Amino acid sequence: MDLMATAISGASALVVALTASEISVSGARWADRLLRHALKLTPAGERERRQEEWAAHLNDIPGPMGKIHCALGFVKAAYVTLFGPALPALARLLFIAAKNPKATWRIYLALRNWRIVAAKGREFGWNIPKCVFDLTWAEFREYAEHQDDPRWHEYDTAAFAQRVANLSSTDRVLMAFLGVCAARIKPTKVFPNIPAHWDEIALKIDAKCFPGPRRTSRAASTSPRGPERRG
Amino acid sequence: MTDAKPPRLTLETLRALRVIANSRDGVAGSQIAKIAKLSSGTLYPILFRLERAGWLTSRWETELPQALGRPRRRIYSITGKGVANMRPVTDELASLERLQWT
């Protein structure tokens, strides 16, 4: 029992140490990335000013964790500034929804059954995380699908490799897993350490995300988008 | 640039305003956050709102970034309008803060 406790505490210490070292190495870079994200949400006319002002603020914060926390605050500030004027309207909408539960339920069901058909008849349903992944990798996916080969294109791989070359090991693993859901690039060329059964994993994810029979004709890609009832 | 609608006066807004009002030559965002104990996510929307309402003005540090060895700070100062609007609620803020600590 004592041996077990020692092993668990040792493993925990190792995990904590690895996490701390990862944060200390890439903390400033993450803060910079968050700052850039916040700036994207800022109106173009004010972007230059905010960039310098926030960079100066980040410069005054000691430690990688403090910098990340501060940069997260900038993202929050950007969102609040962007959507702040809409918040009273949202509150009003919630109030109306609470007063009319039947109508709200009907609207919810209509949204729930909203079918969005993308290229090649792929359906994007209520699976929000998947939509986020696909949006994240839209640039790769669009090009790959244009080539009629959703798994591989040399340019995409080169661009992808360029991006991942500057990331830490944890990021690379995460990015690789995100890549499965969208771009279908040949990851074995980019990451030599990725398992050889990558295609199997991708197929499994395909089966999970797109359970219906897949339409492959070009005509399917031009199918009308918008609210449709599922049959 | 200035909004006709006066900004909402929350406890955080008053804290930030008080820090700016107490500084003689203006104060940077990072210093306001430190003294008023506000996070950057709370502070900056307040500063933008107050500046739009004409309660605050801001300017860049006069030194060049190359000379400073870091990015220039934006210095915030309170305007006459800000002081006039803040005065009636300053006592209220003090009593609220006393309430928080007792």
Answer whether A59 touches B (CB < 8 Å).
yes
Q: Which pLDDT value is given to residue A85?
A: 79
Residue, of A225 and B49, whose pLDDT is higher: B49
| Best to test chain B binding among A34, A37, A54, A57 (most B CBs inside 10 Å) | A57
Among candidate residues A89, A72, A85, the one with its CA nearest the CA of residue A37: A72
Answer whether B72 touches A (CB < 8 Å).
yes
Q: Mind telling me how many Å the CA of A178 is from chain B's nearest CA?
A: 29
Q: Residue-wise pLDDT tens for chain A (231 aa)?
A: 677 888 888 888 888 887 777 777 788 888 988 999 899 888 888 888 999 999 999 999 988 888 999 999 999 999 888 888 788 888 888 889 889 888 988 888 877 776 655 545 555 555 555 555 554 455 455 545 554 544 444 444 544 544 444 444 444 444 444 444 444 444 445 444 444 555 555 565 556 555 555 444 333 333 333 333 333
Cβ–Cβ < 8 Å for B72, B61 = yes
Q: Which pLDDT value is given to residue B43?
A: 94
**A59-64, Cβ contacts within 8 angstroms, sequence gap of 24 or more:** A59/B70, A59/B71, A60/B28, A60/B30, A60/B31, A61/B30, A63/A27, A64/A23, A64/A24, A64/A26, A64/A27, A64/A28, A64/A30, A64/A31
Answer whether A75 touches B (CB < 8 Å).
yes
Beta-carbon separation of B42 and A73 below 8 A: yes
Q: Which pLDDT value is given to residue A149?
A: 46
Chain A positions in Cβ-Cβ contact with residue B44 (cut-off 8 Å): 54, 73-74, 77, 81
Orientation angle between helical segments B29-36 and A44-60, nearest 10 degrees: 60
Question: Among the residues of A113-186, which ranges form H helices?
Answer: 128-136, 138-146, 154-164, 169-181
Beta-carbon separation of B74 and A81 below 8 A: no
Q: Which pLDDT value is given to residue A141?
A: 52
pLDDT at B7 over 50: yes
Token pair of A70 as six digits: 């501060």
Q: Mind telling me how many Å the CA of B43 is from chain A's nearest CA?
A: 8
> What's the CA gap between A122 and A107, in Å, rounded?
24
Cβ–Cβ < 8 Å for A157, A185 = yes
Which residues fall within 8 angstroms of residue B32, CB to CB, at 6 or more apart? B16, B19, B20, B38, B43, B47, B76
Cβ–Cβ < 8 Å for A151, A200 = no
Q: Which pLDDT value is given to residue A83?
A: 83
3-state secondary structure of B59: strand
Closest chain B residue to A68, measured at CA: B40
Amino acid (1-letter code) at residue A82:
L
Q: What is the mean pLDDT of chain B?
A: 85
Question: Would you give the distance in Å from CA B29 to the centre of its chain?
Answer: 8
Q: Which pLDDT value is given to residue B65?
A: 83
Chain B positions in Cβ-Cβ contact with residue A48 (cut-off 8 Å): none
3-state secondary structure of B73: coil
Answer whether A77 touches B (CB < 8 Å).
yes
Answer whether A53 touches B (CB < 8 Å).
yes
Angle CA A45–A46–A52, to nearest 5: 135
Answer whether A204 touches B (CB < 8 Å).
no
- pLDDT tens digits, one per residue of B29-44: 999 999 999 999 999 9
Q: Which pLDDT value is given to residue A146?
A: 52
> What's the CA gap between A78 and A43, in Å, rounded?
9
Nearest to A73 among B40, B70, B74 (CB): B40
Backbone angles phi, psi at A42, to 5 degrees: -85, 140
Residue, of B89 and A167, whose pLDDT is higher: B89
Beta-carbon separation of B45 and A84 below 8 A: yes
Residue, of B94 and A168, whose pLDDT is higher: B94
Q: Which pLDDT value is given to residue A172?
A: 44
Among candidate residues A108, A46, A101, the one with its CA nearest the CA of residue A78: A46
3-state secondary structure of A207: helix
Q: Which pLDDT value is given to residue A162?
A: 47
Beta-carbon separation of A81 and B45 below 8 A: yes
